[in-house]
A = this chain, B = another copy of it.
Amino acid sequence: MKLYTSSRAPNPRRVDMFLAEKGVHDIARVEVDLNAGQHREPAFLARNPLARVPVLELDDGRFLAESRAICTYLEALYPEPNLMGRDGEERAFIEMADRQVEFSVFAIGANYIRHTHPGLAALEQPQFPDFGKSQGEKMLHGMRWLDGRLAAQPFIAGERFTIADITAFCAVEFLRLVKFKPTDAGLAHLAGWRDRIAERPSAAM
C-alpha cells in the first residue's frame, strides 16, 4: 500500500492518527504539496479526479479516496484496537457521532477558515468572508453541543476512544490556525477532552 497525503492538512491527519492508534507505521507515504497545487496536476487527478488528499493506493493498483472510507478499509485490515464499532449497531452509533462532528464542527470550521484566512486564499477561490464569519458562529453552536456531550461522557461517542474522537481532535487542532481555543470560548469540557486526547501518542505530529 502507498498513502498519498499532505502531512499538515486536517483530513490526512485523520488517517495518520487512525493508523497510529492501530500501531501501523510502515505504510509508504508520498507527500502531495497542496500549496504548489500538486493535487490538481494530471498525475494526482488520475488517482483521485476530485483532487483531494489523502488517497490510499492498494497493492492491486486500485485507489481509495475519502479519509473515512480509507479508515473503514484499514479497520478491516487491522481490527484491533477497534475504532469504528464491533457490530452493526455500534457501528451505526459511532458513525452518527462521527458524522455529527464532521458536519457540525469539522466541515463548518473548515469553511470558516477557508473563507476567512488570508493564507488559504489560493486554495479557496473565491473566498466569501461574510459567509465564512457566519460559519464561525455556527461552528460555535456545534462546539457547544460537543461540550455538553463531553460533560456527560468521556469520549465523543461514549465510554471509549473511537474514530469520532479523531475527527473532532483534528478539527479542533486545525482551528488553532485561526487562534481558536476551547477555553477562550468557555468550553471547559471540550478543553479537558482536547488535553486528554493530545496526550495520546497518536496525537503527536
Interface residues of A (CB under 8 A from B): 49-50, 62, 64-66, 68-70, 72-73, 75-77, 87-89, 91-93, 95-96, 99-100, 104, 107, 126, 128, 130-131, 134, 142, 145, 148
Chain B residues with Cβ under 8 A from A100's Cβ? 50, 65-66
Question: A72 and B92: CB pair below 8 A?
Answer: yes
The CA of A173 and the CA of B187, in the complex, are separated in Å by 40
Chain B residues with Cβ under 8 A from A68's Cβ? 95, 99
Chain B residues with Cβ under 8 A from A148's Cβ? 49
Question: A92 and B65: CB pair below 8 A?
Answer: no
Chain B residues with Cβ under 8 A from A104's Cβ? 50
Q: How many copies does the complex hold?
A: 2
**A88-B65 in contact given A49-B145, A50-B104, A145-B49 (Cβ < 8 Å):** no
The CA of A87 and the CA of B73, in the complex, are separated in Å by 9
**A88-B66 in contact given A50-B145, A148-B49 (Cβ < 8 Å):** no
**A96-B69 in contact given A128-B131, A131-B128, A145-B50 (Cβ < 8 Å):** yes
* Known contacts A50-B142, A69-B93; 5 further A-B pairs (Cβ under 8 A): A66-B96, A69-B96, A72-B92, A73-B92, A128-B131
**A87-B91 in contact given A65-B96, A66-B99, A68-B99 (Cβ < 8 Å):** no
Minimal Cβ-Cβ distance residue in B for A88:
B76
Chain B residues with Cβ under 8 A from A107's Cβ? 107
The CA of A145 and the CA of B52, in the complex, are separated in Å by 13
The CA of A72 and the CA of B94, in the complex, are separated in Å by 10
Question: B126 and A134: CB pair below 8 A?
Answer: yes
**A69-B95 in contact given A76-B88, A76-B89, A128-B128 (Cβ < 8 Å):** yes
